[in-house]
């Protein structure tokens, strides 16, 4: 089974407001995306699953439009580290996103530990004078537990920064051991993000770099699925598909020049290229 994850970040903001949304009005954005891809994705049933991580405001529309799809999983962008519980906290979590609330909305999947989330947590901790990187992983561990306890599938992101490349094995091993401690990982997928290679002007890694890292992650996790989190695109889909240890990828923007943004037809093209060339 391949795992083709879509992280839509804040791509709902209209272009005239500084965003990249040229698809529809924001109130219909999620429905527009799902409606334009669900028929084509249905053809891949049994071969791939397609979690789609929407900003929270769009989850109801995404869930409604996905309907009873067997391949599309409407997902949220993380869950809070604490949760609603019978006889416990009934939902007094202003500004936060409890996993139980997401489950009740019909959400099936979540992404946790993305480098942007790790950076945010690190920044908050730094304001309190905490520079222990393991503290971030301990918080993420609580989030993963809440998600798993509610039956959500989890895409758990790990990755090393430029200054950590020389000891990447130690960094990734710590993120895995702390982040997945005491968790049933039967519904967990690992996304490897080469943080040092993400962003304009940076050189993305090739198969010679990605494959040994994917092998290392599989060894450390007893064979959990590993997807490439540095951006599955049209120009690297065939290369990533050729790596036996890579089980999919994380897609975000589909167009990086001109009218930059996410375009459903280009997303489908990435999926097609990858699945036509992937190793089984």
| Active site (catalytic) residues | 114, 193
C-alpha–C-alpha distance, residues 206 and 142, integer Å: 33
Task: Assess contact for 69 and 62: CB atoms under 8 A.
Answer: no
| H or E stretch at 112 | strand 109-112
C-alpha–C-alpha distance, residues 229 and 112, integer Å: 12
Dihedral over alpha carbons 6, 60, 188, 226 (to 10 degrees)? -10
C-alpha–C-alpha distance, residues 179 and 255, integer Å: 32
First to last CA, the chain: 9
Q: State the number of CA atoms in the 13 A half-sphere of 250 facing the CB.
A: 28
- How would you classify residue 87: left for phi > 0, otherwise alpha for psi between -120 and 50, otherwise beta? left
In 3-state terms, the chain is what percent helix, strand and coil (to 5)? 45, 15, 40
Closest to 111 (Cα-Cα) out of 268, 253, 5, 4: 5
Number of H helices, E strands in the chain: 9, 8
C-alpha–C-alpha distance, residues 264 and 33, integer Å: 6
φ, ψ at 273 (rounded to 5°) = -60, -45
């Amino acid at each position: 089974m391949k795992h083709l994850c879509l992280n839509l970040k804040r791509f709902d903001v209209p272009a005239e407001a500084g965003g990249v949304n040229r698809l529809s009005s924001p109130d219909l954005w999620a429905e527009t995306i799902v409606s334009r891809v669900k028929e084509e994705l249905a053809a891949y049933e049994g071969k791939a699953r397609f979690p789609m991580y929407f900003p929270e405001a769009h989850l109801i529309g995404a869930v409604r439009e996905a309907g009873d799809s067997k391949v599309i999983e409407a997902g949220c962008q993380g869950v809070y580290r604490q949760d609603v519980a019978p006889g416990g906290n009934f939902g007094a979590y202003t500004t936060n996103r409890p996993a139980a609330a997401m489950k009740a909305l019909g959400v099936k999947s979540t992404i946790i530990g993305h480098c942007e989330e790790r950076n945010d947590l690190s920044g908050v901790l730094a304001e309190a004078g905490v520079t222990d990187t393991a503290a971030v992983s301990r918080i993420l561990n609580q989030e993963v537990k809440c998600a798993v306890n509610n039956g959500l599938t989890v895409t758990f992101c790990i990755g090393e920064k430029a200054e950590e490349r020389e000891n990447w094995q130690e960094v990734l091993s710590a993120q895995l051991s702390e982040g997945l401690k005491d968790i049933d990982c039967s519904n967990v997928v690992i996304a490897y993000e080469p943080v040092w290679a993400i962003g304009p002007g940076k050189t993305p890694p090739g198969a010679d770099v990605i494959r040994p890292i994917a092998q290392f992650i599989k060894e450390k996790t007893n064979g959990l699925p590993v997807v490439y989190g540095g951006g599955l695109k049209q120009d690297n889909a065939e290369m990533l598909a050729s790596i036996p240890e890579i089980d999919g990828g994380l897609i975000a923007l589909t167009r990086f020049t001109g009218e930059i943004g996410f375009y459903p037809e280009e997303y489908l093209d990435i999926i097609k290229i990858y699945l036509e060339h992937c190793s089984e």
